[in-house]
Amino acid sequence: MKFTDRLWDSVESIWNGYLEHPFVTGLGDGTLDQGKFQHWLKQDYVYLVEYSRLMAIGAEKSPDLKTMSMFSEMLHGTLFGEMELHRGYAAEFGILEEELLLTEASAVNTAYTSYMLNHAQRGDAAAVAACLLACAWSYNYIGRSLSDKYPEQENNPYKQWVETYSGEDFTSLNGTAMTLLNKLAEGKPERELALLEEIVVKTSLYEYMFWDMCENQEEWPIKVGL
């Protein structure tokens, strides 16, 4: 049994909750409020900057060249593939990239990236791969589920979103993330596997909180004007 099969059993119920989340169903059927989507766009752009740092840490901690290439492939795919989606939508809304980058990460966003960066810095390459997995895999899972459930995308303003996350490039990026973790987890003792599993479950819960944060357009509980 692959390590990712074991992980699937622990995250399946959380991930099925994403599919029923109003933000996610709104993306699929096109009814999502544009203000909520713009909140996602800005928060996610700065999230992806931190997420990219993780892959750079993974490359640095890689035990061999092949592993390093896989982290670097994901880094490249995120910076030049996935983030093009965000830049494209921003341009449509008349939002400049500089403006996206000035977004102050919300409380949930900060907690999520800090959690991952903490584990990535303390752990080995397997811990970094565990931090990356839920993000790539769950977006691909959501993208593919939405494209199956809502095959009629012609008039959906979020069509590009569904196409990006269900498409070939992102599916392949996710395949790399899965292969990477399966390879790095090989031969590890149960004590270490349990920690990797905890990271994947916790990041899956953070993903749920990220959807909630976007649905409710949350930032921080009190505005302090930094």
Contact call for residue 210 and ligand HMH (CB under 6 A): yes
In the list 15, 18, 37, 139, the residue contacting ligand HMH (rule: CB under 6 A) is 139
Between residues 50 and 192, which has the closer beta carbon with respect to ligand HMH?
A: 50
Is residue 50 packed enough to be buried (19+ CB in 10 Å), middle (13-18) or exposed (0-12)?
middle
Is 207 among the catalytic positions?
yes
Contact call for residue 27 and ligand HMH (CB under 6 A): no
Contact call for residue 207 and ligand HMH (CB under 6 A): yes
Is 197 among the catalytic positions?
no
Between residues 82 and 197, which has the closer beta carbon with respect to ligand HMH?
A: 82
Q: Closest separation between CB of residue 82 and ligand HMH, Å?
A: 6
Between residues 62 and 204, which has the closer beta carbon with respect to ligand HMH?
A: 204
In the list 3, 47, 71, 161, the residue contacting ligand HMH (rule: CB under 6 A) is 47
- The 73-102 contact track toward ligand HMH, x by CB under 6 A, reads ---------x--------------------
Contact call for residue 158 and ligand HMH (CB under 6 A): no
Please name the residues in contact with 72: beta carbons below 8 A apart, sequence gap of 6 or more.
55, 59
- Among candidate residues 82, 131, 197, 207, the one labeled active-site is 207
Contact call for residue 136 and ligand HMH (CB under 6 A): yes
* Size, binding site for ligand HMH by CB under 6 A: 9
Q: Closest separation between CB of residue 73 and ligand HMH, Å?
A: 14
Tell me which residue of 118, 94, 108, 115 sits closest to 34, measured CA to CA.
94
Q: Which residues bind ligand HMH (CB under 6 A)?
A: 44, 47-48, 82, 135-136, 139, 207, 210
Q: Among all residues, which ones are annotated catalytic?
A: 135, 207
